[in-house]
Structure 1
Amino acid sequence: MPSDATPNPLDHPLDHPLVFGQRMQVLRTRRGMSRTVLAGLLDKSPSWVKQVENGALHTPGLPMILRIAEALRVRNLAELTGDQTMPIDLFVGPGHAKLPAVRAAIDAYPVADDREAPSAAHLSARLERAWSARHSARNHRDVIGGLLPNLIRDAQLAVRQADRAPERRAAQAVLSEVYSLSQFFIAYQPDSALLWRVAERGMVAAQESEDPHAIGMAAWLTAQAHRDSGPTHFDAADAVTLETLRYLKPLLPDASDDVRAIAGALQFEAGYTAARRGNTGTAWSYWDTASKVAKRLPADYYHPMTSFSRPIMGAHAVTVAVELHAGPESVRQAAKADAEAIPSRPRLARHRIEEARGYQLDGQPETALATLDKAYEAAPETIRYNGYARRIVLEETEAKSPERRCRAAALAVKIGVLAT
């Protein structure tokens, strides 16, 4: 039966399967990445990449395969290796048990409801408690996954029942924030289409609200979604970030701390994307601008959604250095950062993972594993869903040192990438 579907270049007849190098070339091309760029990310030469792709060199060992998978943002390792017995999702964590209930609430299309909608103030109070619970819980997805379905339904109802324009704008601002919280839950789970639906709905609700903070928050998350989609989406990430900064700039002199914080968070996002591009000067320039914003906020201020604050700038510096593949600088920034000042468990765990990436880049695998153990203690669900952490752990299960192999294997079991 004829089909109009576009064939997947990775699907080949069983008698002529694609070899590793061919798969690597297909995935690199699909990402819009040149051999020179990929070589730089792997600390190899463009000729080495070419020789692997054309089969002149043998398939590299597992540590390099994992580095290639990270650089190409390969979600399932089998896509790169062709070995269907290795269905390891690197950049997609396991589907959370509460994901179906959250998905059902998002996908529902209620047109009538006899209940009286909660007020925007009531919903805002519930949201404040939900954000607080997320920051304090080791298993934060479990907590917010239980709260989200009712929050989504109630916030949608509040928008539908709002009669006056001011009430409707207030309800839209709350609904946008509910969608923002939803993105934190859905991120890195196996449903990218759901993530984009929520991101788009959050942007629409924020614009309808005319609330600068809601607009900034929705833009911050949308830029991250674009960036995580790969290099071909970096321009889209920058467009969202910079356009929102232009919108916020004239409002900042009289803005609240939350609005100024979201502007600072967006400045850093621009730097983060620049670091992903390998633009060192631009990345650090945006980091410096964001740091100046943070210093003008109260010393004890901590943005409840983005974590933007004075302490987080140290963590952001580690991330910039890591994304620029500067191992020694990553370690130097990690030594300067005040991790204990980060009050959020999941954000602390994310920082520990970035530190571990830095130690790995600097040739300190033992310290990297020890730091990932700290990440697990802070928030197991953060490391369980983080592709960079999973890559380091899997790579170290092949280490020459028996002690490192043992430690990595134990952590791999805990985070679910190896069976017991």
Structure 2
Amino acid sequence: MSSDATPDPYDHPVAFGQRMKILRESRGMSREVLAGLLGKTPDWVRDVERGKVRPPGIDVALRIAQALRVRDLANLTGHPDVKISLFQGPGHPRLAAVRAAVDALPIGTPTAAPPRAEHLQARLAAAWAARHSAPDHRERIGALLPDLIRDAQLAVQVAEAPAEWRAAQAVLAEVYSLSQFFLAYQPDPSLLWRVAERSMVAAQQSADPHTIGVSAWLLAQAHRDTGPDHYDAADAITQQALDYLIPLLPDSNDPVLAIAGALTFEAGYTAARRGATSTAWRYWETAQSMAEQLPAAYYHPVTSFSQAIMGAHAVTVAVELHSGRESVRQAARADADTIPSRPRRARHRIEQARGYQLDGQPEAAIATLDQAYEAAPETIRYNGYARAIILEETESKVTAHRRRASELAVKVGLLAA
């Protein structure tokens, strides 16, 4: 090995800062660029790399891993026995069947009778209801998706009249949208991308504003969650969808207003990821005013956009801006019990836990993750941030904290009983 070759981070046990430097330099990234992505100074990056300051906490470590495009936190921390895949969870038992349905080519003469559009819509409504109400929501929709995908594809294939074909495309786009909720955090990102792009194509073919808005909302999320290099793409998709929908709002129904509101918040979410504080909160305020135009009991079945969700969205903005104190303040104001969807309520609890962790309240973070587990075990089991917080606290020096985190780790499946 030449003397100037990039060293393997696992050749020798090295400190966090040394690993960060190795990974940064292997990607050709300067300290200035990394500092900008993290909202820190180049001197801070240098001091971490040289071990002059304590290694950062879990939230900052996750941000560093994202900026360096590290897919597994162990590559940065130097603890290969503690495996944390940042963006993917363990593969669900239903994943193979869903993948097979997506990959199947609906070509040739259909051998089955085409499903009626109203029958497909009823099955979709039942699937969405199961997703929101079942603690094992991923299992429930994973069992329904293969047949739904095949039948929706068949409906498009056999449609003859233009109106019938567009209606079938709208159903297919919605089936793909439901699929994305199952595929999130699964160890097959290429499958998620295929489904997101197919949903957008089918939505455009449908010419239905609500369907187009939903598919754009999910495609923007896929870009945003891929990392900083895709933030511009996420913003472009969000803005194009809003430019299309906003002129339609005066004559639109509640679902179209809700998807426009959800897209508006998405723009704020991405701004928060960028560290653009004023822009993020401005979008949140606009989305809040749109939510207030909806009936108090209205709840969008795909995006969860509603009056009830805006408090949870405020927590998310504060957490993504890495403001621990503001995160806790917003968490105290938000009422999780008003969120009717179990997985969305669990996701809100995870965001609250991130806020408590940022604010130096690990005990509150674990207690809140316990609440997330009670709401929807499959949500916390596949969430990288939740797993990271739990595993960090299993090494706490405080016995009570360590015991409670370990008990939760066993329930989630991170540690053996």
* Fold shared by both chains (TM-score > 0.5): yes
Q: Give the Cα separation in 2 of the matches to 1:330 and 1:81.
A: 26
Letter in 2 for 1:20: R
Q: Give the Cα separation in 2 of the matches to 1:196 and 1:160.
A: 22
Q: Give the Cα separation in 2 of the matches to 1:15 and 1:400.
A: 29
Match 1:204 to one of 201, 206, 220:
201
Q: Give the Cα separation in 1 of the matches to 2:28 and 2:12.
A: 21
| Compared CA separation, residues 145 and 59, structure 1 to 2 (3 A) | farther
Equivalent runs, 1:386-401 vs 2, <5 Å:
386-401=383-398
Do 1:20 and 1:59's aligned partners in 2 also have CA atoms closer than 8 Å? no
| Compared CA separation, residues 10 and 187, structure 1 to 2 (3 A) | farther
Partner of 1:78 in structure 2? 74
Do 1:105 and 1:152's aligned partners in 2 also have CA atoms closer than 8 Å? yes
Shift of 1:89: 1.9
Partner of 2:51 in structure 1? 57
Stretches of 4+ aligned residues off by more than 6 angstroms: 13-18, 30-33
Structure 2 counterpart SS, 1:188? coil
Aligned: 1:244 with 2:241: yes
Do 1:28 and 1:34's aligned partners in 2 also have CA atoms closer than 8 Å? no
Do 2:84 and 2:387's aligned partners in 1 also have CA atoms closer than 8 Å? no
Q: Give the Cα separation in 2 of the matches to 1:363 and 1:381.
A: 26
Shift of 1:69: 3.2
Q: Give the Cα separation in 1 of the matches to 2:64 and 2:261.
A: 28
| Compared CA separation, residues 67 and 172, structure 1 to 2 (3 A) | same
Q: Give the Cα separation in 2 of the matches to 1:303 and 1:99.
A: 26
Match 2:125 to one of 124, 128, 151:
128
Query: Structure 1, residues 351-390: CA drift from partner, whole Å, max 9, x if none?
Result: 0011111111112111111100000000001011111111
Partner of 1:68 in structure 2? 61
Partner of 1:330 in structure 2? 327
| Compared CA separation, residues 323 and 10, structure 1 to 2 (3 A) | farther
Shift of 1:111: 1.2
Structure 2 counterpart SS, 1:311? coil
Partner of 2:412 in structure 1? 415
Query: Structure 1, residues 291-318: CA drift from partner, whole Å, max 9, x if none?
Result: 1110000111000000000010010001
Letter in 1 for 2:21: Q
Shift of 1:21: 3.2
Structure 2 counterpart SS, 1:310? coil
Do 1:93 and 1:385's aligned partners in 2 also have CA atoms closer than 8 Å? yes
Shift of 1:47: 1.9
Shift of 1:15: 6.4
Match 2:91 to one of 87, 95, 109:
95
Match 1:116 to one of 113, 116, 132:
113
Structure 1 counterpart SS, 2:261? helix
Gaps of 5+ in 1: 1-8
Q: Out of 409-418 and 264-273, give the one that drifted further.
A: 409-418
Do 2:58 and 2:389's aligned partners in 1 also have CA atoms closer than 8 Å? no
Letter in 2 for 1:169: R
| Compared CA separation, residues 340 and 119, structure 1 to 2 (3 A) | same
Shift of 1:414: 1.5
Partner of 2:402 in structure 1? 405
Aligned length: 406
Aligned: 1:377 with 2:374: yes
Q: Give the Cα separation in 2 of the matches to 1:265 and 1:32.
A: 36
Partner of 1:222 in structure 2? 219
Letter in 2 for 1:221: L
Partner of 1:4 in structure 2? none
| Compared CA separation, residues 115 and 329, structure 1 to 2 (3 A) | same
Letter in 2 for 1:269: E
| Compared CA separation, residues 32 and 233, structure 1 to 2 (3 A) | farther
Do 1:307 and 1:347's aligned partners in 2 also have CA atoms closer than 8 Å? yes
Q: Give the Cα separation in 2 of the matches to 1:28 and 1:356.
A: 32
Q: Give the Cα separation in 1 of the matches to 2:411 and 2:373.
A: 9
Q: Give the Cα separation in 2 of the matches to 1:382 and 1:70.
A: 21
Gaps of 5+ in 2: none
| Compared CA separation, residues 11 and 101, structure 1 to 2 (3 A) | farther
Query: Structure 1, residues 114-156: CA drift from partner, whole Å, max 9, x if none?
Result: 2111122211111001000110000110000000000000000
Equivalent runs, 1:218-297 vs 2, <5 Å:
218-297=215-294
Do 2:32 and 2:42's aligned partners in 1 also have CA atoms closer than 8 Å? no
Equivalent runs, 1:311-322 vs 2, <5 Å:
311-322=308-319
Do 2:311 and 2:335's aligned partners in 1 also have CA atoms closer than 8 Å? yes
Shift of 1:264: 0.2
| Compared CA separation, residues 247 and 78, structure 1 to 2 (3 A) | same
Aligned: 1:176 with 2:173: yes
Match 1:306 to one of 303, 308, 311:
303
Q: TM-score, normalised by structure 1?
A: 0.91
Partner of 1:34 in structure 2? 33
Shift of 1:46: 3.0
Query: Structure 1, residues 270-326: CA drift from partner, whole Å, max 9, x if none?
Result: 000000111111101100110111000011100000000001001000100111111
Query: Structure 1, residues 191-249: CA drift from partner, whole Å, max 9, x if none?
Result: 00000000000000000000001100000000000000101110000000000000011
Do 2:32 and 2:41's aligned partners in 1 also have CA atoms closer than 8 Å? no
Overall identity of the aligned pairs, in %: 64
Q: Give the Cα separation in 1 of the matches to 2:405 and 2:10.
A: 35
| Compared CA separation, residues 362 and 16, structure 1 to 2 (3 A) | closer
Q: Out of 175-184 and 107-116, give the one that drifted further.
A: 107-116
Q: Give the Cα separation in 2 of the matches to 1:385 and 1:166.
A: 39
Query: Structure 1, residues 136-179: CA drift from partner, whole Å, max 9, x if none?
Result: 00011000000000000000000000001000000000000000
Q: Give the Cα separation in 1 of the matches to 2:169 and 2:37.
A: 43
Partner of 1:106 in structure 2? 102
